[in-house]
Structure 1
Amino acid sequence: MKPKLLFIISLILCLMFSVKSYSQLTGTVVSISGTVKNALTKEPLTVYVVAYTEDGKKVNAARSNASDNGYYSLTGLKPGAKYKIVIEQPRYLKETYELYVPYTTKYTEYSKDFALIPFSQGTAIPLPVPPFELKKTKLRFGIESFLEPFVREFVSNKNATFEIICYPDAPGEPTENLKLTEERAKSLMSYFISKGVEPERIKIKGNSSTDPQNPPPVEKRAKGKRYIGTTYIKILNS
């Protein structure tokens, strides 16, 4: 290896070590703040926001304030570390956010808003991202991350039962729409079963007409922004 290249590598390593050491010596602190709200009603919530290290050690906790738009501020994080920011609240799905804090010698504040999904009997929860492409019945690539909170809850809570409700993408032939939406619901049911949810705890429902709560837009959408029929997870028993 050429001497010049060795010098550059050594210099980079020294700089990295210096930043890490300096941040430890000066006690550089990093914070994360934002709001916590009900994902459906947008109502601000009062909950505990807790930070854990990678190995599960509790670092600090903060309480959001419903009277202050659900605002929270969690401090005590350190540069060069990875954290899990966790919110566990009765009657809501557990929320987890992973945060990596790069090495720094300056005070840094990250921003993260949380929208907690209510989990109570009778609640119909619209999936925030359509799990299907237009007129398709196969689950779209990457939807697993949006379904993970539901999987986690249904696997751990053996008493919970739910119904998958799918709506078509557009008005059309009722028979075809019903077939499309039933196949979509079956695809989601198969996914939950593959993750360990017992089939007897799942009901499915297709529809021949579009969602009355979230109908297709009257005006033409921008290119690439297609309307996809809504999919709901309705909690029958929690």
Structure 2
Amino acid sequence: MKRVNAVAACLVMLAPALQAQNASRDSSTWSRVSVSVRYGVFTPSGNSEAYSLIDRALYSGAATLNPRIAGADVAVRLTPRWSARLGIESGERTMESVSRVSPATTTSPVAQQTALQLTSVQSLGVEWRAARWARAQGAGADRARLILGAGVGTARYRFQQWGTFVDAERLVAYRDDFYSTGRGLFEYVSAGVDVPVTRWVALQGTVRQQFGAAPMSDDYATFDRLDLGGTNVSVGVRFSPAELLGRR
């Protein structure tokens, strides 16, 4: 609840920013828009029953179940330091594993696969340019900018395990395919660095910490909620369409 209140307070700060933008008449709405594309990796926190089961039953555990994420963002500058941000992303990761328990009839490894897909992930938040480092004598573009952010989002997931498994009580091997799908809400905070290359493009690196969970279903309906929290580390490119097209 404290995290939700903190994010809500940050979003409330948009109200004065929206009023302040009316005072800025030196640029059009189009020139305040920037677009980012990024690629990274999401490492789940793993604080749920499904992850604990993987750690207990399979080698090498859930540590490698970290989806590769591709995403895009649109940011609208509200004031010189505040922006509203809308993001979309998706990704997946399939890991191969081996049962820690061997069936009574053989000592051969019993292999299976686990997949985590994050699809239809949307987020809405604010960005604050906390600091900037200008070039010598302030000429030209900034050398770098520190960007802090916060917001909320929604994510749809698919969690699936298939292959051969071992009944730990009877030590019998069997084949099966288990899955669960669901959607949940999350909150996030982020920190990133933009490094301008030209007037219209900048390289960026971002670390985002998110918190949330989604209900499990189907074969995992008796499990607790699937943890959607974790750390998202990405690199990408931010560009200004107005600058690129020569508009002012």
Q: Same fold (TM over 0.5)?
A: no
TM-score range, shorter chain: under 0.3
Between structures 1 and 2, the one with greater strand share: 2
* TM superposition score normalised by structure 2: 0.27
Between structures 1 and 2, the one with greater helix share: 1
Higher relative contact order (CA 8 A, sep 6+): 2
